[in-house]
Chain A
Amino acid sequence: MVAAAVTHLATDVLVVGAGGAGMYAAVAASREGRSVLLLDKGLVGRGGATIMAQMTVAAAIGQEEPDDWTLHLEDTLEAGRGICHEPLSRMLCERAPDRILEMERWGTRWAREGGHIKQVTAPGHRRKRCCYVDFLSTGPAVAATLRHQVATADRVRRVSNVAAIDLCVADGRVRGAVALDLSSGSLVTMAARAVILAAGGLTKIFRRNSASTNMGGEAYWLALEAGAELVDMEFVQFFPIAHLAPRLVGMDPIMWDPFRYKLGGRLLNGRFEEFIHRYGGEDGGRYTAPRDLASYAILKEVEAGRGSPHGGVYLDFRHLPEATLRTAFGPVIDRLLANGIDLTRMPVEVAPTAHYHMGGIAVDERLETRVAGLFAAGEAVGGPGGANRLSGNAISEAMVFGERAGHFAAEAAAGADPGWTEVYAERARAALAELRARKGSGRAPGVVQADLQDVMWEHAGPFRSREGLERALMCIHELRHELPDLTIADGDVFNLDVQDWYELKAMLRSAEAVVLSALQRTESRGAHQRLDAPQMSPAFEKNQLVSLAAGGLTSRWASVVRSGVRTA
């Protein structure tokens, strides 16, 4: 195999991942005069999670009714069950209004009514503070606005189809990264004075997930390998009523929540009986149970043999006339009909799915990790949502942490040029050469990814126990042992096996961090539910930090970082 040429690039700020957070970070660093390299393993501004979001963005702009960021903060901290990184939660709530208004100046058409931005209540918010773009178009609209901003910003170089595979660190400071150009198969080395990891979360490690193909935990893997810590990795948010059947294309699987908020919906088991009340919730045509209780009730019904044909339950809107449906969701009703789904005549099947990761890269109040010059933004950041993120806070996070990370990284990049040496790229170069030379006899890496997804869903999903988690850890180690023998197809150009192999490495590390953390937390709190320890324990009102030492993961406990600002 011919060794392809190496491209070398140099920049002040390197942003890994060009979803909502990464694009915002690039714009922010650029407007402070820094050069920016914005990298995405897919196409810039097309991948990630933001573009898939169909729901709302929480920000206390107070246009629908009086509101204040301190109230938003109170709601966020309450949902986080005592373990939020409070300075980050505060940053999120205090700065979200500026981002909403800036996005509107940049052209995002937030839904308006009576001369102001329309805001609705999402669960857990005490005020009408959630902005959106009709109809179910919030994410695509935000992504389109930011794509335009990065395309017209000075000093921002966008690079698509290039995947970061290693960060370069020397003397405790990040120096750049090594990446793989998927189109050619060649290596790209990048010298950078500061690096922002904005490559999203890890929900792809679960069989049932609502993620794009990007969410394999690469940001976490890169951070660990660089010497940074992860925090709260046991807290994966499972969304209770993701679409399951009939097969629905062209829609985000978590689309049913806005229907439920606006119209009410009946949740029924496979025998068409209401069941939430058996688990302590309320039925009555408009189920209002919180996410964890709804997930629990659904999975228990399925376990008891009372599930729907595809292993979920029914969500039923048949009690509503078509005119009501059309008023609320306009063209979406036609998209459903095109999928053969007539809500006036049939229920749909729904089931819990991995949706979002509260845990992530441990950062300080400047969004910097313990590795100097290495920052994080967006879902990749751990801590602001604690044990449970509020609905509506994810896009706010992407915008606020993106802008702040861009700002602080620009500041960090102001110093002297640290210089670049080829030695920094050696580790990644050697690993890729080994991969290319290999004639494996094993399975393809994408197939092993599917095994890992099954393991994580069965044993580390919405409900956990010591026995299951120990089994998951064992399976993860077994799958990791397969890595050196996996088969990689020949060829350099757009070789997805190579991409799958790196993703699998990232997925295995992220999965291990989740399982290890979940094992140590012998209580139930927010999104982390242990069947063998169902109570929340004050002894566990603390955070868990995971790092890579001597080739293995270790975890330690730390006190929750409080903000000192107690709200009314």
Chain B
Amino acid sequence: MTGRVTTLRVWRGAASEGNFARYEVPFEEGMSVLDALRWIRAHVDSSLAIRYSCINANACHTCMALVDGRVEYTCTARLTPAGVTVAPLPKRPVIRDLVTDTMPAEEKLG
């Protein structure tokens, strides 16, 4: 550990109602945005809603979000000490926080 920290601004809430929350996260060289989001869930607030499966392999392609205004896989988007802003995908209905409705219509209940 280097003792460095980085800052994430993360959208919390529903699509229309919500705000960006600030989280300070220990920074390690090479870490991904998803690493930081998982760290927040484990150490600060487990209620943060995120979607991911393969964690690291960029195989499942389920962890997409808007990172500093660009659509990215959070598992491959690199963090820097400068920090990032993470928001839900812009063209999908927001379920909660960073989770958007990316399911094909026929895979939904109801």
Among residues 22 to 79 in chain B, which have CB atoms less than 8 Å away from a CB atom of chain A? 28-32, 35, 41-42, 46-62, 73, 75-76, 78
7 extra interface residue pairs, beta carbon distance < 8 Å, beyond A159-B107, A251-B57, A496-B49: A43-B53, A43-B60, A251-B58, A253-B56, A493-B95, A495-B49, A500-B46
Q: Bound state CA distance, A157 and B108, in angstroms?
A: 10
B3 part of interface (Cβ distance < 8 Å): no
| Residues on B with beta carbons closer than 8 Å to the beta carbon of A447 | 42, 46
* For the complex of A and B, 4 pairs with smallest distance between CB atoms: A247-B30, A489-B47, A444-B46, A250-B58
The interface of chain B, by Cβ under 8 A from chain A, is 28-32, 35, 41-42, 46-62, 73, 75-76, 78, 95-97, 99, 101-104, 106-110
User: Cβ of B61: which chain A residues have Cβ within 8 Å of it?
Assistant: 46
How many whole Å from B21's CB to the nearest CB in chain A? Answer: 14
In the complex, what's the smallest C-beta–C-beta distance from B25 to chain A, in angstroms? 14
Is B29 touching A246 in the complex (CB atoms < 8 A)?
yes
Q: Are A495 and B42 in contact (CB under 8 A)?
A: no
Given contacts A42-B60, A249-B75, contact A213 B55 (CB under 8 A): yes
Distance in angstroms between the alpha carbons of A494 and B50 in the assembled complex: 9
Q: Verify B30–A212 contact, CB threshold 8 A.
A: no
| Set of chain B residues within 8 Å of A44, measured between Cβ atoms | 107
- A488 CB, min distance to chain B CBs, angstroms: 9
By beta carbon, the residue of chain A nearest B45 is A489
Tell me the interface secondary structure of chain A in the complex. loop
A495 & B53 in contact (Cβ 8 Å cutoff):
no
Residues of B within 8 A of A497 (CB): 46-47
Q: From DSSP, what is the main secondary structure of chain B's interface residues?
A: loop
Interface residue? A183 (CB, 8 A): yes
Q: Does A188 contact B (CB under 8 A)?
A: yes
- Residues of A bordering B, CB below 8 Å: 7, 42-44, 46-48, 51-52, 139-140, 157-162, 181, 183-184, 188, 212-214, 246-253, 339-340, 444-447, 450, 487, 489-491, 493-497, 500
- Contact status of A162 and B42, CB under 8 A, knowing A52-B57, A214-B53, A247-B31: no
**Inter-subunit contact A46/B103 (CB<8 Å):** no
User: With A212-B53, A489-B46 in contact, do A247 and B28 touch (Cβ < 8 Å)?
Assistant: yes
Q: Does A139 lie within 8 Å of B47, measured CB to CB?
A: no
Name which of A42, A249, A444 has the most chain B CB atoms within 10 A of its CB.
Answer: A249
Write out the residue numbers on chain B whose beta carbons fall within 8 Å of the beta carbon of A496.
41, 46-50
Shortest CB-to-CB span from A83 to chain B, Å, is: 31
The answer to whether B41 touches A446 (Cβ under 8 A) is yes
Contact A51 B109 (CB under 8 A): no
A339 near B49 with CB under 8 A, answer: no
How many angstroms from the CA of A290 to the CA of B9 in the assembled complex? Answer: 47
Q: Is the CB of B95 within 8 A of A494?
A: yes
A160–B108 CB distance below 8 A: yes
Give the residue among B60, B78, B108 with the most A Cβ atoms within 10 A. B60
State how many angstroms separate the Cβ of A264 from the closest Cβ of chain B. Answer: 25
Q: Which of A47, A340, A491 contacts B60 (CB 8 A)?
A: A47
Q: Is the CB of A249 within 8 A of B29?
A: no
User: Smallest distance from the beta carbon of B15 to chain A beta carbons, Å?
Assistant: 12
A48 to B62, CA, bound (A): 12
**Complex interface: chain B residues within 8 A of A160 (CB):** 103-104, 107-108
Determine the distance from Cα of A158 to Cα of B104 in the docked complex, in whole angstroms.
10
> Given the complex of chains A and B, what is the CA–CA distance between A160 and B110 in angstroms?
12
Do A43 and B47 touch (CB < 8 A)? no
Asked if residues A249 and B106 are in contact (CB atoms below 8 Å), the reply is no
CB pair B58 A249 closer than 8 Å: yes
In the bound complex, how far is the Cα of B103 from the Cα of A437, in angstroms?
29
